[in-house]
Amino acid sequence: MDYASGKVLAEGNADEKLDPASLTKIMTSYVVGQALKAGKIKLTDMVTVGKDAWATGNPALRGSSVMFLKPGDQVSVADLNKGIIIQSGNDACIALADYVAGSQESFIGLMNAYAKRLGLTNTTFQTVHGLDAPGQFSTARDMALLGKALIHDVPDEYAIHKEKEFTFNNIRQPNRNACCGAPICISTA
């Protein structure tokens, strides 16, 4: 999709409903960006990590990409945001969702409200991080529209996507986006 015109340049199964997986974090980033833009939260705010964001204590997060947060950690909104965007941190998604909206469920409500407002007609979110959940789906077309909205509506969020790495708690992790230098896995099967 061309950003300026919105014209689709190439497509294949653009309206096929699929599990969005970590592309869900684009909407998580969008909602966080809107909260920052509205002044509801600040990058310098300190967030207390809850038990639900602890990978060791939450079976759903075991083996997934995380920032290695622990219950009671005090982490800035800025660091959690980078943890979501650069590291694809599922624990960071939970911590920031709880902070922004009071609960994951309320944050998911915001995600779906923004999806509707943006015209994402084939998208429903059920998690803040994109781990598998019944009834969660999106399409390539809707994700392209969401990407365009992220760039236009919350450009400060978009700018974080180009950072090559992020270090938190002495753990350096590269950006998982292949366009930023992350290794690309190509299947020959």
CATH of residue 134: 3.40.710.10
- Residues 83, 169, 41, CA angle at the centre, nearest 5°? 45
Domain-located, residue 12: no
What is the spatial distance between Cα 77 and Cα 120, in angstroms, rounded to a whole number?
27
Give me the pLDDT at residue 82, please: 96
What is the spatial distance between Cα 50 and Cα 99, in angstroms, rounded to a whole number?
10
Domain-located, residue 4: no
Name 72's Cβ contacts closer than 8 Å, sequence gap at least 6.
Answer: 48, 49
**What is the count of structural domains for the chain?**
1
Q: 10 Å Cβ neighbour count for 15?
A: 11
Give me the pLDDT at residue 79, please: 97
Domain-located, residue 1: no
pLDDT digits over 62-102, tens only?
A: 777 889 899 999 999 999 999 999 999 999 999 999 999 99
Give me the pLDDT at residue 181, please: 57
Give me the pLDDT at residue 61, please: 77
Provide the residue range defining the domain that includes 30: 21-180
DSSP one-letter code for 184: P
pLDDT digits over 22-64, tens only?
A: 999 999 999 999 999 999 999 999 999 999 888 766 777 777 7
pLDDT digits over 103-162, tens only?
A: 999 999 999 999 999 999 999 999 999 999 999 999 999 999 999 999 999 999 999 988
Domain-located, residue 117: yes
Q: How far is CA 76 from CA 43, 83, 161, in A?
A: 7, 11, 18
Domain-located, residue 11: no
What is the spatial distance between Cα 94 and Cα 116, in angstroms, rounded to a whole number?
22
Domain-located, residue 13: no
Give me the pLDDT at residue 189, please: 43
Give the DSSP per-residue string, 56-119: TT-GGGTTS------TT-EEEHHHHHHHHHTT--HHHHHHHHHHHHSSHHHHHHHHHHHHHHTT
pLDDT digits over 159-188, tens only?
A: 998 898 989 989 888 887 766 655 544 444
Domain-located, residue 57: yes
What is the spatial distance between Cα 67 and Cα 55, in angstroms, rounded to a whole number?
9
Give me the pLDDT at residue 150, please: 96
DSSP one-letter code for 144: H
Catalytic residues: 22, 25, 88
